[in-house]
Amino acid sequence: MASVARWFRMTRTVARTVARTVTGKRVFPSVWLAGSIIALGGCGSPGDGSHGGGEGAATAPQAVLRLSAIPDQNSTETREKIQPLVDFLAQSLGVEVAYVASRDYQASVEMFKNGDIQLAWFGGLTGVQARAAVPGAHAVAQGDTDPTFYSYFIAHKDTGLERSEEFPAEIAGLSFTFGSESSTSGRLMPEYFIRQATGQAPESFFAHPIGFSGSHDKTVELVASGQYQIGVVNYTVYDRRIEQGTTDPEVVRVIWQTPTFADYNWTVRPDLDATFGEGFTQRLVSTLVSIDDPVLLRALPRDRLIPAEDADFEGIRQVALELGMVRE
């Protein structure tokens, strides 16, 4: 107790000094002393019952379910639209849920690989890449349209091109842009179909250097402005823009629709149950596929979700292997 008394006398002296000198203004010493006494109270010696474990002891921070989505649309718009889903999952699952924005497709994969996010809305290719990087990760849900997804090849009106049932080989001499380099519907599968139709890689088929816009919305905007004559885009993004009036179908025309392929999916890390409790992953999946409110899914955008398995995306994995976009 003698040491405590000496400490108390010392703090009174320091407090008086602080009161006289801090920025020339008087500081009420008792406030400073109160914080110091509280700090002393947390420094009890072993065996005095003040070292934690008793009533009022600090508890471990609550685990947070962090999720993200590949940024194939406007990032601000995505954040606004996905917040209702974040809130719904938090309420339904009884855990804190946070949305983590991603700057690009590969950043989404890296965040998942590093454990910065535990749940991600990936495209077919990024989902394959993420699951390859995290053994035990699985696709658990997809949109009802995702098993039969497709892309549009679009053209500026000045090309004079019209819609065709056959691959438009005449685009070879025009300027062309993909979306993101890691996009399933904006790069991987369109490149595969170009190779199938022409027997050439896009770099050889097109007379001009090909571009990568970074997102589906940007692809449509670049074609609309005439910076590129031809582009390829996720059909849902194009249709949404036409419906909303942000794109004129007479200016940006669909000239070819690709065959179908599997695409977007929710993929989870294998450590969810260890973090949030046994059975959490299944509760999460059940919650996702039970959603019937379109407002909750408009960021994706999908009308509803259905269960998914890794095998649903085996075709995507094989194409990615063939084109060198994923490794065994």
Residue of 121 and 49 predicted with greater confidence: 121
Q: What is the per-residue pLDDT across 2-54, written as a single tens digit (0 to 9) for each?
A: 443 443 344 344 334 333 333 333 333 333 333 333 333 344 433 343 334 44
Q: What angle do CA 202, 208, 213 make, to 5 degrees?
A: 70
Residue 181 · residue 214 · CB < 8 Å: no
Q: What is the per-residue pLDDT across 78-106, written as a single tens digit (0 to 9) for each?
A: 889 999 999 999 999 999 999 999 999 99
Q: What angle do CA 280, 286, 288 make, to 5 degrees?
A: 105
Other Cβ atoms less than 10 A from the Cβ of 135: the count is 7
**Sheet architecture: strand order including 252-257:** 211-212, 176-178, 230-234, 151-156, 252-257
pTM beyond cutoff 0.85? no
Please report the pLDDT score of residue 120 as a whole number: 98
**Angstrom distance (rounded) from CA 179 to CA 188:** 10
Residue of 259 and 35 predicted with greater confidence: 259
Helix axes 75-93, 280-290, angle to 10 degrees: 120
Domains (ranges, CATH) in the chain? 2-34 (no CATH), 64-147+263-322 (3.40.190.10), 150-257 (3.40.190.10)
Tell me which DSSP letter residue 63 carries.
P
Phi, psi for 268 (deg, rounded to 5): -120, 150
Long-range contacts at 38-47 (CB < 8 A, ≥ 24 apart) = 40/4, 40/7
Please choose, from the candidates 199, 195, 245, the residue with its C-alpha nearest in 3D space to the C-alpha of residue 224. 245
pLDDT at position 149 over 50: yes
Please choose, from the candidates 36, 23, 77, 45, the residue with its C-alpha nearest in 3D space to the C-alpha of residue 241. 77
Q: What is the per-residue pLDDT across 56-82, written as a single tens digit (0 to 9) for each?
A: 444 456 899 999 999 876 677 788 999
According to DSSP, the β-strands at 305-307 and 119-122 are unpaired
Please choose, from the candidates 81, 134, 85, the residue with its C-alpha nearest in 3D space to the C-alpha of residue 272. 134
What Cα–Cα distance (Å) separates residue 29 from each residue in 23, 26, 39, 91, 292?
Answer: 15, 9, 16, 45, 59
Please report the pLDDT score of residue 150 as a whole number: 98
Which single residue is written with the structure tokens 């855990």? Answer: 95
Residue 214 · residue 73 · CB < 8 Å: no
Q: What is the per-residue pLDDT across 163-208, written as a single tens digit (0 to 9) for each?
A: 999 999 999 999 999 999 999 999 999 999 999 999 999 999 999 9
Coarse DSSP helix, strand, coil percentages of the chain, rounded to the nearest 5 percent? 50, 15, 35
